[in-house]
Amino acid sequence: MSERLVVVGDTLLDVDLEGRAERLTPDAPVPVLDDLREHPRPGGAGLAALMAARDGHPVTLVTALGDDEAGERVAGLLPGVDVVRVRYDGPTPVKRRVRSGGQSLVRLDTGTAAGTVHGVPPELRRVLQEASAVLVADYGRGVVQAAEVRELLAATPGRVPVVWDPHPRGADPLPGARLVTPNRSEAALFAQRSGSTTTAPSVPAGTPLAGVRAHADALVASWRAQAVAVTLGGDGALLSYGDGAPVVLPAPGVTALDPCGAGDRFATTAAIALGSGSVTVEAVQQAVADASDYVARGGPASLREDTATDDPRPADAAAMVAAVAARGGTVVATGGCFDLLHAGHVATLRAARGLGDALVVCVNSDASVRRLKGSSRPLVPAADRVRVLEALECVDAVVVFDEDTPAELLDRLRPHVWAKGGDYAGADLPEAEILARWGGQAVVLPYLEGRSTTGLVRTATRLERLVDQWKEGSR
């Protein structure tokens, strides 16, 4: 049997209307949007199913779509998804976000009146019985509240992990769910609703994590769930099993361009991981990583076919540069091998970040380092160098380039400032001419004296020789 994810819940039509806002109307202080482009996608349970299909997993979506143009449009936006439609008499909800420069200006909702589910197709029982995992994406539109659907969900075999993504307007998760995934504000609301906050321990002011833990513990008991993972946005997630110390899973630092759909990405990854045999903490850890990566790639924009790329990092950085520039911010870029990251590197990176609103670090690939430094370098492979750089608070994005210079990469990214270390002081930077093409500026920043990777390597080599001599003499 293949590892098939079954997504059960409400599907919406999400539409982004994006344009350029460069002037105000003469009759009111509101922006005029030119060159509007429409980007439709499924929302709610449909978005979760599309994400799973785009990941290459077999997926079945059990949902309700209205008998209307929006419903037919959503059905056409689900390539690779097997759709099982329940009988439903309501409209398909449509959410339209009007956006410019990476920012939402207004959201227009239609089809908000919920309908009624009038029965489920006979194959639904078989679909749930054969699932490797079930994700309930409840948006409070009626699918998950339907008695027939809840009865079949309750009969799902115990071997099948159920991940429940709840909604304030939805139904309570069924007892026994492997994992329930409210966000911070939802967890507080659900705990208050259930009356669990009256029995939760008092939380001193200034300890918000303790409050999240209290709500999560209370919800494990109230919902009789095996675990609750409270998503914390850029702070990651807190996982509670109801007693004992919770597990906090931090998120990697990323630039949040558009977090819409991050919760769906989190729940989808967790369900797939549990269906593949991961334990709960491993599934939540992967979910945090995937949700962060989704946001860093531009959120919903990353799902468009025209943004697909085999190497996502340049696209991530380009999207970040565009978003910062659209807000009127300054993007700074710097580059180097960063082999054995030391205090001199950190000082330069911090100084570079201080010149603007975001910092992109361009890193030589392993092959590029070997051509520049010799066959004995790099000491640290590119993947690890990137991981260390991304962990620095002053770094917003890291991109690896394979050429001898970052010229081609800079031409794609087009930062406002290019900063290099002090060993270039008084010299013409080779990148200055490139930056001048779009009005950018190349600058030199001072190094910390006496700090260099070459010096560290020489010191380590001398120490190694001294140890070898000592060993030889002691024999």
Tokens of 389: 């750089």
Q: Which residues is 333 bridged to in the sheet?
A: 360, 418
Phi/psi at 160 (5° precision):
-90, 115
CA distance linking residue 461 with residue 475, whole number of Å = 22
- What are the helix (H) ranges across 162-243? 184-194, 208-223
Tokens of 113: 């009146």
List, by residue number, the catalytic residues: 264
Contact 102, 327 (CB under 8 A): yes
Residue with tokens 């309930």: 136
CA distance linking residue 422 with residue 81, whole number of Å = 55
Query: What value does the CA radius of gyration of the chain take, rounded to a whole number of Å?
Result: 26
Residue type, 404: D
Contact 283, 274 (CB under 8 A): yes
The 10 Å Cβ neighbour count of residue 394 is 16
| Among 193, 156, 196, residue whose Cα is nearest residue 175 | 156
Tokens of 404: 């001898």
The 10 Å Cβ neighbour count of residue 144 is 28
Beta strands in 358-421 (DSSP E): 358-364, 397-401, 417-420
Query: Measured between alpha carbons, how far is residue 177 from residues 140, 163, 277, 382 in Å?
Result: 18, 6, 16, 41
Task: Write the DSSP symbol of residue 171.
Answer: P
CA distance linking residue 368 with residue 378, whole number of Å = 9
Phi/psi at 430 (5° precision):
-65, -25
